[in-house]
Amino acid sequence: MEYFNSPREKFRSLTSSRTILPSLLACDFANLERDIHELEESGASALHLDIMDGHFVPNLSFGIPVVEAVRRVTDLVLDVHLMLSTPESYFEVFKNAGADGITFHAEALADLDKPNQNFARNGCRVTQFREIETVASHIHSALDKIHTLGLAAGLSIIPPSDVEILEPFLCKCENILIMSVMPGFGGQKFDPRAKEKLSWLHNHVMPGTLISVDGGVNENTLADCKNHGATGLVMGTAIFKNNQTKNNFVKLNNELQAD
């Protein structure tokens, strides 16, 4: 097994090629270890873990003991996607649970700074975002906090948010996660607004940054994501459907790696 100096460095190894990040939200939780080992055997290098608080998003998923359990059975890169209203309170516990990278939502911190706006539902527009004086420093300090823990830092936006709000933070992120559905549930339809955002990121991110897309990515939408510059393809339903995890992964990965 390859040796890495830190989880952050381990996460960065993903950026040397295009990567599928299977989202465990769609796995068979009664057979979690089996599903993870099937993905390892199929050539997966990372897993995406969706953490929901029933507040930032209208759903609950799983939490710390499940991340710990996943870490006990695999050395794959663990990409933890926090859909939480107060993500910073949980960076350290998810590091201790085994995360290599932590991604949080810009909208969550904007909500904290302007509690009446509900950016988590309506998205952040560039114009509004510039008016929220404290949010940029809040986001910078959250990204720094993740790095201080030795982890890769990721920032995400929901479909109604403008991608340009991410610009001041790009130099601090190992992962940018463009949501192509409203977060909270698997199995939704891909929102095509993600495509332009991916293209914009392709022209703006630093080398060594994963450009991820999450939600409704499947055999029909994969090529579009790839052609618009996505390098991290989060897929739940498309990977675990029909009890065909290995076949699904191999087929989708072949398509992703083809020129």
Q: Restricting to residues 209-248, name those near ligand DX5 by CB under 6 A.
A: 214-217, 234-238
Q: Is 178 left (phi over 0), alpha (psi -120 to 50) or beta?
A: beta
The yes or no reply on residue 111 touching Zn ion (CB under 5 A) is no
- Residue 207: burial class (beta carbons within 10 Å; 0-12, 13-18, 19+): exposed
Q: Residue 12 or 81: which CB sits closer to Zn ion?
A: 81
- Going by C-alpha positions, the residue among 116, 65, 57 that lies closest to residue 81 is 57
Q: Residue 117 or 237: which CB sits closer to ligand DX5?
A: 237
Tell me 165's DSSP state: G
The yes or no reply on residue 191 touching Zn ion (CB under 5 A) is no
Candidates 23, 42, 209, 212: give the one binding ligand DX5 (CB under 6 A): 23
Q: Residue 209 or 218: which CB sits closer to ligand DX5?
A: 218
Q: Restricting to residues 65-104, name those near Zn ion by CB under 5 A.
A: 81
Span of 5-13, 20-28, 67-75, 146-154 interacting with ligand DX5 by CB under 6 A: 20-28
The tokens describing 104, both together, are 């949080």
| Active-site residue (options: 53, 79, 100, 214) | 214
The item of ligand DX5, Zn ion, none sharing an interface with residue 215, based on CB under 5 to 8 Å by kind, is: ligand DX5
Tell me, yes or no, if 50 is annotated catalytic.
yes
Strand order of the β-sheet with 175-179 is: 19-22, 232-235, 210-214, 175-179, 152-157, 101-105, 77-83, 46-52
Q: Report d(CA 245, CA 259) in Å as an integer.
A: 23
The yes or no reply on residue 50 touching ligand DX5 (CB under 6 A) is yes
The tokens describing 21, both together, are 């990040």
Tell me, yes or no, if 53 is annotated catalytic.
no
- In contact, 27 and 69? CB cutoff 8 Å: no
The yes or no reply on residue 20 touching ligand DX5 (CB under 6 A) is no
- Going by C-alpha positions, the residue among 113, 48, 131 that lies closest to residue 83 is 48
Candidates 35, 50, 53, 79: give the one binding Zn ion (CB under 5 A): 50
Catalogue the active-site residues.
50, 214
* Interface with ligand DX5 (CB under 6 A): 23, 25-26, 48, 50, 81, 181, 183-184, 186-188, 214-217, 234-238
